[in-house]
Amino acid sequence: MDRSPASRPAVPEEDIIEAKAFIDLFMIAPQTLVDQTGFACMQLGTGCAISLPSAPAIGLNRILGIAALDDLDTAYEWMSKRVGRRYLQMSAAITPQQKGDWIREHGLLAEGNGWAKLRRAAPRTPLTHAGEVITRQVNGDEADTFGSMMCAGFGFPTNLIPLWSAIVGKDGWTCFFAELEGRPIATGAMYASGGYAWLGGGATVPEFRNRGAQKALIAARLNEGAVQGVRTFVVETAQPSAGEPNISHANLIAHGFEQIYTRMNYRFPDGS
């Protein structure tokens, strides 16, 4: 099995910017939260292994942006010492036979339909949004409100509020509220670096869903990113299926995003 540097597979730029965002999220996390939750992250090349056991989301308990087998071995060994549900994420399009063999040898099993990865270029002219919802950037003194809304929207425990509050106002990050009659009802975040931007943090207060908040937040981030010099935007959401339509996926397609690949979630065996 050839593992020479010349044969090392390339990681998609769309995964690299996402990994950068989560590495930065770890770097700016309050030390008290890191100590209390066991939050940890290891950077490997353009990717990372990240672990926050108290977070129920795959996004904070996974290996991402790693394709070389040597790096996968290192990440797997590190992640195996962690607890909770852990995953390896890899694009189905860049999983050749040797990667498939590696995944089977380590007992990882595909779970669910995977995540759809989407991309679009920056808008040439500002996008408009019709409707009663308006958007604005989050002010520094509203960081706790932003973090609280994100945790509530994603079902995270309240002790993780400081994690999401910490990104407000930090270099590379731009955070938004969607408001209805002056009340924040939804959140959205953008991390930009090197001409790319990753969109995340889209959460809506349950009683205000289906009011157009996330559509407005997509447009707001595209417009702001274009002002900041972003050339390419990327985002991921659950892969839709015939029996399970995905509103988030539909909203992104309606805003000019194109699905470029599906990334599978391979779960670590219990007890590893």
* DSSP 8-state symbol, 65: S
Tens of pLDDT, residues 85-141: 999 998 866 656 678 889 999 999 999 999 999 999 999 999 998 889 999 999 999
Q: Are residues 111 and 179 in the same domain?
A: no
Within a domain: 235 = no
Q: Are residues 65 and 127 in the same domain?
A: no
Could you tell me the pLDDT band of residue 271, with boundaries at 50, 70 and 90?
A: low
Q: Among 80, 115, 150, where does a domain finish?
A: 115
SS3 labels along 169-218: CCCCEEEEEEEECCEEEEEEEEEEECCEEEEEEEEECHHHCCCCHHHHHH
CB atoms within 10 A of CB 22: 23
Contact criterion met (CB below 8 Å) for 87 and 235: no
pLDDT at 86 (0 to 100): 97
Tens of pLDDT, residues 39-96: 999 999 999 999 999 999 899 999 999 988 899 999 999 999 999 999 999 886 665 6
132 by DSSP, 3-state: which? Answer: coil
H or E element in which residue 223 lies: helix 213-227
Q: Among 89, 115, 141, where does a domain finish?
A: 115
Residue 105 bridge partners (DSSP): none
Please check the confidence at residue 231 and state whether its pLDDT lies above 70.
yes
Q: Are residues 127 and 111 in the same domain?
A: no
Within a domain: 173 = yes
Tens of pLDDT, residues 236-264: 999 998 777 789 999 999 999 999 999 99
Q: Among 93, 115, 137, where does a domain finish?
A: 115
- Domain of residue 11, residue span: 5-115
Could you tell me the pLDDT band of residue 1, with boundaries at 50, 70 and 90?
A: very low
Q: Are residues 162 and 192 in the same domain?
A: yes
Q: Are residues 67 and 88 in the same domain?
A: yes
Within a domain: 15 = yes
Q: Are residues 109 and 14 in the same domain?
A: yes
Within a domain: 251 = no
Q: Are residues 83 and 133 in the same domain?
A: no
> What CATH code is carried by the domain that includes residue 136?
3.40.630.30
pLDDT at 9 (0 to 100): 66
Radius of gyration of the chain (CA): 18
Q: Are residues 87 and 131 in the same domain?
A: no
Q: Are residues 58 and 157 in the same domain?
A: no
Length of the chain: 272
Please check the confidence at residue 3 and state whether its pLDDT lies above 90.
no
Within a domain: 245 = no
CB atoms within 10 A of CB 230: 22
Residue type, 115: W
Please check the confidence at residue 4 and state whether its pLDDT lies above 60.
no
CB atoms within 10 A of CB 78: 16
Contact criterion met (CB below 8 Å) for 266 and 108: yes
Q: Are residues 129 and 203 in the same domain?
A: yes
Within a domain: 267 = no
pLDDT at 10 (0 to 100): 79
**Mean of per-residue pLDDT scores for the chain:** 92
Contact criterion met (CB below 8 Å) for 234 and 198: yes
* Tokens describing residue 27: 């770097």
Q: Are residues 111 and 184 in the same domain?
A: no
Identify the burial level of 86 via C-beta atoms within 10 angstroms of its C-beta, where 0-12 means exposed, 13-18 middle and 19 or more buried.
buried
Q: Are residues 215 and 135 in the same domain?
A: yes
Rounded distance, CA 232 to CA 122, Å? 6
pTM of the predicted model as reported, rounded to 2 decimal places: 0.93
Within a domain: 170 = yes
Within a domain: 262 = no
Tens of pLDDT, residues 137-191: 999 999 999 999 999 988 899 999 999 999 999 999 999 999 999 999 999 999 9
Per the structure, how many domains does the chain have? 2
Give the pairing of strands 232-238 and 258-267. unpaired
Rounded distance, CA 267 to CA 145, Å? 33
